[in-house]
Structure 1
């Protein structure tokens, strides 16, 4: 994989966590718990929820051309009123991002990306909240589009079910148009957007985006099948 060439071609590309997934997932989780009153009112201590890490096994990555780009985490904090006092909830999400270079007109771009987002279950008074459950499929699709600019015509084209984390996951496939970030190069895009799957005290969401003409669907499915979850 030619990372240097792609870095030259996509200077505007930022990490998935910084731009979209972590902030959205964390903010949604806070909103879900904001109406509850089971925090420690006596001490005023923040309620903290941290995700483990979802990654793709080396075996599943073999022959896909994808490599690990980075594993990042971010803590999102929100304050709200409870029992007449201000209380804080902190949610820490983690994302493992993988990518590979694609060649277009003799140039290589790091435009194929796969990510596994882990977000913690927020549990208050015995009730569990899925921090990304309120996002519909189109909003989830937006989480993986950090490598593309001016995305338009997002349309659901198909769906499939495959194995993930000792169970099944429903995956929606979308098509869209856009340009590879920072290049002005227009491409058709295919996206795979999985539903959140429970993994211990977390929810794991698989996501992928790549130029449609490269037909990476089988590689994406293989990586979804190979997702592993660790609490460390």
Structure 2
């Protein structure tokens, strides 16, 4: 009798062959995925005082175990960043807030999402902030609320932390959320000094105004 594992392996092989990915099955080629860019509505960004630094594309390579063998997967991700600054004249500009929208492909193989971001909690996602803005420490959860993003109910978690701004330690608030939209996971992250507690309203507006795909 044919085992369930054999049936699953044959089904996966058929799926890959029909998709034109024979090279991936044999290990000769990487299976590639690319997310569609995401951004926040430009009018909302302008009204809240944020300007974009543009969209960057970055690739992540991973090794997955598929049908009992290791295969290479390449995922192209996009990140659109925004900043809110004030001109202090002789002292230059001071950053009052930062906002990022990250789109990363679900990386579905045989109908199963293989991107670990899909299983990340907001507590884990806040670690992404540390990878972009070095020096984030003393992270503690403050509150949580639901906000509409891309037609989905997104759980937004607010954290208090300390971050490096211009070489100085500054107490900040960080807001993090994530939804699955079409074939991608969309992560939104906002951060600002705690002295500007009223900035939370603007960050939530930016989250509500996220667009995917964007024209970035």
TM norm structure 2: 0.78
Aligned pairs, number: 194
Matched residue SS, 1:222: helix
Structure 1 unaligned spans of 5+: 1-35
Aligned counterpart, 1:128:
113
The answer (yes or no) to whether the contact 2:41–2:210 under 8 Å persists in 1 is yes
Distance 2:131 2:64 in 1: 30
Q: Does 1:47 align with 2:31?
A: yes
Give 1:94 deviation, angstroms: 0.6
Q: Tell me how far apart the structure 1 counterparts of residues 181 and 64 of structure 2 sit (CA, whole Å).
A: 28
Q: Which runs of 5+ in 2 are unaligned?
A: 1-7, 17-21
Instruction: From the two aligned structures, give the one with the greater helix fraction.
Output: 2
Deviations 1:121-156 (A, max 9, x none): 111112223430343323311222467443321100
* Aligned CA-pair RMSD: 2.8
Bigger CA radius of gyration: 2
1:101 deviates by 1.1
Which stretch has the larger CA shift, 82-91 or 43-52?
82-91
Q: 1:171 aligns with which of 152, 156, 168?
A: 156
Q: Aligned partners of 2:174 and 2:209: how far apart in 1? A: 18
Query: Secondary structure at the residue paired with 2:47?
Result: coil
Asked whether the equivalents of residues 102 and 109 of structure 1 are also in contact (C-alpha less than 8 Å), the reply is yes
Q: Distance in 2 between matches of 1:86 and 1:148?
A: 33
Distance in 2, matches of 1:103 and 1:145, equals 26
Higher relative contact order (CA 8 A, sep 6+): 1
Is 1:60–1:225's contact at 8 Å kept on the other side of the alignment? no
**Contact 1:51–1:231 (Cα < 8 Å) also in 2:** no
Alignment match of 1:92 (pick from 73, 76, 85) = 76
1:60-75 matches, within 5 Å, as 60-75=44-59
- 2:3 equivalent in structure 1: none
**Deviations, residues 62-112 of structure 1 (Å, cap 9, x unaligned):** 3211011120111222345666865321111111111111578x6532352
CA contact (8 A) 2:118 2:185 kept: no
Match 1:219 to one of 177, 194, 202: 202
Given the alignment, which residue of 167, 170, 181 partners 1:184? Answer: 167
Q: Distance in 2 between matches of 1:189 and 1:225?
A: 21
The 3 A distance-change label for structure 1 pair 84 and 199 is closer
**What does the per-residue CA deviation read over 1:154-182, in whole Å, with 9 as the maximum and x for residues that have no partner?**
100001111111122110000012331xx
